[in-house]
Structure 1
Amino acid sequence: MAVIGSLIKGLIHATDAVTSEPDGIEAQEKVLRELLKKAKDTAFGKHYNFEELLKSDDLRREYASKVPFFDYNKINKEWWQKMHEGEESVTWPGKPPYFALSSGTTGKSSKRIPVTEDMVEAIRQTGIKQVASLANFDLPSDFFQKEIMMLGSSTDLDKKSDHEEGEISGISASNIPFWFRNFYKPGTDIADIEDWDERVAEIAKNAKNWDIGAITGIPSWTELMIKKILEYHDAKNIHEIWPNLQVYSTGGVAFEPYEKTFEQLFARPVTVIDTYLASEGFMAFQARPETRSMKLVLDNGIYFEFVPFKPEYIEEDGSLNPDAPVVPLEKVEVDQDYVLVISTVSGAWRYLIGDTIKFTDVKKKEIRITGRTKFFLNVVGSQLSVNKMNDAVKELEQKFGITIPEFTISAVKKDGEFIHKWYLGVEENGKVKNEEMAKALDELLKDANKNYGVARKKALKGVEVVQVPPSVFFEWSGKNKKKGGQVKMEKVMKEEKFADWEEFVQQQLS
């Protein structure tokens, strides 16, 4: 069997060696042109006159000037809703065979994002690119014959009259190639189980039957799965169950807040590889071990635009000001936050995905996800982005020797004045006093963010910290959406939702 692993590894090395890196600007121009050509006869393409746009000498600039920004609510109300009423070729030719359900971080109601056959193929092709990039990692030959645990949502999709619905991880898993099925775990029978707790219980029961070499999944739910496995088998770490586990492919949220927790779950170092797969497409993946950044996929069905992440360009609901400027790919700068805008083979046009990114290497086109437009706290001019929050929480962990995998924050009024109130999910709950944590957090943010320091001298009158067990965050997700899959915890809440959160916390702790 080791020979098979050597052959697969050799094939990956050969594939990587012959794959030429495209010129990013040319690749993006080609992608945009192909998108417009294919969609020119759709209702959307006719409305915005794609045929005329294609004659432009400066296609990217003309496209940006003629087609407005869309967030989900706007494009769904004006265009995608027509698909649910039976119309064809609305924003992409034909009818999509799938809709990805994504409640994301915004509430109970699911978004229904079209997933076309072209997008399924684009996701598959980017997956192949990611596998080829494993040649850059120092992995032994026998790794390539181990099984892969893909922890996503249920693959038992909801069948409608002319399409199927489910989360993107379930749609992707239901479309895995036949040759990969022998490597894929937990297998279709378990993956079809709708209830997350039941599915994880079956995974825990069967865990020792599998030789897992890699895990993929969102950190919070992967952590819970591993803990359930350890509890079921009375094990100290996951390597007692899966001794050949060598890779964890993460995505959806920043991994840094979970780093300490995962170190406690592993017996030895595991290669962590970041990916950027959202309901709207597979946009980037970590292609080399020297960095935690991800390479944008510039030649495979997604056209990218970048808007500077500044308060004057962001509306209160997290959408973009219609006049917000776009920075072309060739003019992006290192370590500047940008709002990501995409156009795709699923018929999303100048679509605000809701994420903010920064380029860590402009030449290699490598990025990090820095936060969400809705996770931008600027009620009193503090201009706190989620990456600043993550950094501060990570420093808290180091300062006090504790683990904080989850948190949420809101600007609330106390005695008529605004304060920032933090709930921290602390593994070692009570080890450090709330007041001491609040003081340290406040000082860390003042040092890291000039605008926050100014706000603290004026309208922002204080900081409060409440420590709760991390499990409270998972139960909140279960109550408001559902467990597992693409569900992510809100890092920033509006006052009304925060009041619901506080009531829920009291119920959980009483």
Structure 2
Amino acid sequence: MISNILTWAVQRRLASIDHFRQHPLPVQQQVFESLLYSARDTAWGRAYGYGEAPSRQEFARRVPVSTYEQLYPYLERMLQGETDVLWPGATTWFAKSSGTTNARSKYIPVSRQSLHECHYRAGRDMAALATSLYPEADIMAGKTLSLGGTHTSNPFRPHTDSRVGDVSAVIMQNLPAWAEFLRTPPLELALLDEWEEKIERIAQHVQHIDVTTLAGVPTWMIMLLRRVVELTGATNITEVWPNLRLFLHGAVAFGPYRELFRQLIPSEQMRYLEIYNASEGYFAFQDQPDSEDLLLLLNHGVYYEFIPADQFEAEHPSTVLLEDVELGRNYALVISTNAGLWRYKIGDTVRFTCLAPYRIRISGRTKHFLNAFGEEVVIENADAALAAACAATGALVQDFTAAPVYFSSADGASRGGHQWLVEFIKPPQDELQFAQILDATLRQVNSDYDAKRHRDIALAPPLVQTIPSGTFERWLGSKGKLGGQHKVPRLSNSREVVEDILRQLSNSA
């Protein structure tokens, strides 16, 4: 009965989802107007004339596109407790993440409105869709096992109630009662700081719970599932949780992990849906089981603009509105949110796969790509190539990173290449074949890479280096980034990450 009531309650959101599918532009206009009206009396709103109710075009002319570093002076004032800076009132919660150009932590404001109207509303929508798509699964009858990070006091105001932490920890700490009832493990375990202890204690706890849904980052979920299998002596997870039916996954591409989860959960009834959420908001989710496209969420307190690829590096980039995007093109995502991020460039790139309704795929990061030689390899290309290489050679990849490498031929001519550090769960049957298929698939899915690889003249074949199991985990641990939504940078035009990992391996040898 409780399951039926909860299912009925969340499915009330289906009408709202259908509404923004069918009326995307009026919905976005309403979100835009609501955001500006709410922030009209903030320091930022007064500086840019929000009270004058500018049009979307005038808003784009007045307000600069900002990176984290450019917005930081305002964010620092909020961290120090000043009110009415970017968003009305005081902000007490901040999502802490990495990824800035100077490698310091980012502190992203999480307002009460963004928690409830963005993260929690999107969570209800995802639950509504899942119960609608898979009614036979009865996922509300059991618990959702979610993994997250931790939170701590605000370093700018250490003796106040202001807190900073991984966005998953912020969300879990503030969950409404109905949502907390549905999840496991309890907060005292979910928010543990020490990651190894967290995995062990959560595994001990959840082996006796009726888990029907998993939610989290594939990399870390694998670690937990393996430990549960070890503790119980089971051969796979379905023996522990026979009612497990759904995995809501995000943060990294699922392709390289699909086969491993199939082995861990060998059930024909198991389903997988992707979500696209970040410290800055919850932006999209997979609404069709037979397609990996993600439905862009349009009535969740986020107003969207898009920077075309030829403007990525511009000092003052031009943007296009939702109604002007084109299929198949790469755009950098620009958001204005009900947490006070204004025309904020979050660093992700997307391409549209459908315009009615608006559906996207995450294509990469504006700073995480390989383009040292004009090859323009993005995350989407890398994931496709790895998946093909794994399928052909029987390999399973735990994690990877890639960077440019320069070397000279015997005649003194210089040409570039890519070095891939790959940690395998199951190594390929033929390492040379793995590298060849990786290369061939990249050539197939990326014409710029193919042109540079022509006759090995400008770009040499990729160098694939197998690294020991646990290398990436140890590297993340050395950076204080174990668990939560932390992940290894997959692609980079800099060799900083690759060299750091190789140096760590050398020192431990």
TM-score of the two chains, using structure 2 as the length reference = 0.91
Cα displacement (A) at 1:398: 1.5
What is the distance in 2 between the residues matched to 1:376 and 1:278? 19
Answering whether residue 67 of structure 2 is matched by residue 68 of structure 1, we say no
Cα distance between partner residues in 1 of 2:151 and 2:82: 27
Q: Which residue of 2 aligns with 1:109?
A: 104
Q: Secondary structure at the match of 2:115?
A: helix
- Tell me, yes or no, if structure 1 residue 263 matches structure 2 residue 262: yes
SS in 2 for 1:203: helix
Residues 121-142 of structure 1: CA deviation (Å, up to 9, x unaligned): 1222222222222243123264
Which moved further from structure 2: 179-188 or 13-22? Answer: 13-22
* 1:397 and 2:382 are equivalent in the alignment: no
User: In the TM superposition, what whole-angstrom CA distance separates every residue of 1:158-182 from its partner, at most 9, and x where no partner exists?
Assistant: 6652511111100100111112333
Q: In percent, how many aligned pairs have the same letter?
A: 31
Cα shift at 1:222: 0.7
Q: Distance in 2 between matches of 1:374 and 1:364?
A: 28
Code of the aligned partner of 2:443: K
Q: How does 1:398-413 map to 2 (within 5 A)?
A: 398-413=391-406
1:318 corresponds in structure 2 to: none
Contact 1:9 1:141 in 2 (8 A): no
Instruction: Report if aligned partners of 1:249, 1:275 keep a CA contact under 8 Å in 2.
Output: yes
Give per-residue Cα distances to partners, 1:233-289, cap 9 Å, x unaligned.
Answer: 222211111111101000112111211111111121311111112101111222332
Q: Does the CA-based 8 Å contact 1:5-1:141 persist in structure 2? A: no
AA in 2 matched with 1:428: K
Equivalent position amino acid for 1:193 in 2? L
1:371 to 364, 375, 380: 364
SS in 1 for 2:274: strand
1:199-252 deviation digits (Å, cap 9, x = unpaired): 110111122221000010011011111112112222221111111110100011
Specify every segment of 5 or more residues in structure 2 that has no aligned partner in the other structure, as ranges. Answer: 409-413
The one-letter amino acid of 1:154's match is T
Match of 2:92 among 72, 97, 103: 97
Quote the residue 2:243 is aligned against. 244
Q: Deviations over 1:279-306 (max 9, x none)?
A: 0111122233232222212112100111
Q: Label 1:441 to 1:19 Cα distance change in 2 as closer, same or farther (>3 A).
A: closer
Contact 1:334 1:360 in 2 (8 A): yes
The equivalent residue for 2:150 is 154
Distance 1:141 1:237, change over 3 A: closer
Contact 2:399 2:423 in 1 (8 A): yes
Distance in 2 (alpha carbons) for counterparts of 1:285 and 1:5? 23
Deviations 1:53-74 (Å, cap 9, x if unpaired)? x1x4xx1111111111111111
CA distance in 2, matches of 1:306, 1:81: 26
2:347 aligns with: 354
Give, in whole Å, the separation in 1 of the partners of 2:502 and 2:17: 52
Shift of 1:480: 1.7
Match of 1:384 among 366, 377, 386: 377
* Partner residue, 2:420: 422
1:452 to 449, 453, 456: 449
Residue 6 (1) aligns with residue 4 (2): yes
Alpha-carbon contact 1:108-1:481 (below 8 Å) kept: no
Match of 2:333 among 334, 337, 340: 340
The amino acid across from 1:38 in the alignment is: S
- Label 1:360 to 1:157 Cα distance change in 2 as closer, same or farther (>3 A): farther
SS in structure 1 of the partner of residue 104 of structure 2 = coil
8 Å contact 1:12–1:134 — kept in the other structure?
Answer: no
State the distance in 2 between where 1:446 and 1:288 align.
Answer: 29
SS of the aligned residue for 2:349 comes to strand
- Structure 2 residue matching 1:382: 3-state secondary structure: coil
In 1, distance between residues paired with 2:297 and 2:15? 18
What is the CA distance between 1:327 and its match in structure 2?
2.1
Aligned residue in 1 for 2:28: 28
Shift of 1:19: 6.4
Is the Cα–Cα contact under 8 Å of residues 402 and 490 in structure 2 kept in the other structure? yes
Q: Distance in 1 between matches of 2:218 and 2:302?
A: 26
User: In the alignment, is residue 483 of structure 1 matched against residue 482 of structure 2?
Assistant: yes
Q: 1:431 aligns with which of 429, 432, 439?
A: 429
Which SS does the other structure have where 1:215 is aligned?
Answer: strand
Asked if 1:324 is matched to 2:323, the reply is no
Stretches of structure 1 lacking an aligned partner (at least 5 in a row): 316-320
The CA deviation at 1:183 is: 2.2
Q: CA deviation at 1:105?
A: 8.2
Preserved contact between residue 383 and residue 452 of structure 1 (Cα < 8 Å):
yes
2: CA distance between counterparts of 1:241 and 1:129? 28
Task: Give the superposition deviation at 1:85.
Answer: 3.9
Report the equivalent of 1:191.
190
Instruction: Describe the SS at the equivalent of 1:368.
Output: strand
Q: Matched residue pairs, number?
A: 494
User: Among 416, 421, 440, which residue is 1:443 paired with?
Assistant: 440
- From 106, 123, 137, the counterpart of 1:127: 123
What one-letter code is carried by the residue in structure 2 that aligns with 1:423? Answer: L
Shift of 1:507: 4.0
Give the letter for the 1:63 counterpart.
F
CA deviation map 1:67-123 (0-9, x unaligned): 1111111111x3212223443211111221101101158785321111111111122
Give the 3 Å change call, closer, same or farther, for CA 12–80 of structure 1 in structure 2: closer
**Equivalent residues of 1:156, 1:170 under 8 A apart:** no
Say if 2:111 and 2:339, in contact at 8 Å, map to a contact too. Answer: yes
Q: Deviations over 1:33-61 (max 9, x none)?
A: 11111112211112222223x1x4xx111
Q: Distance in 2 between matches of 1:196 and 1:418?
A: 39
Structure 2 residue 299 is the aligned partner of structure 1 residue 302: no
Aligned-partner SS, 1:21: helix
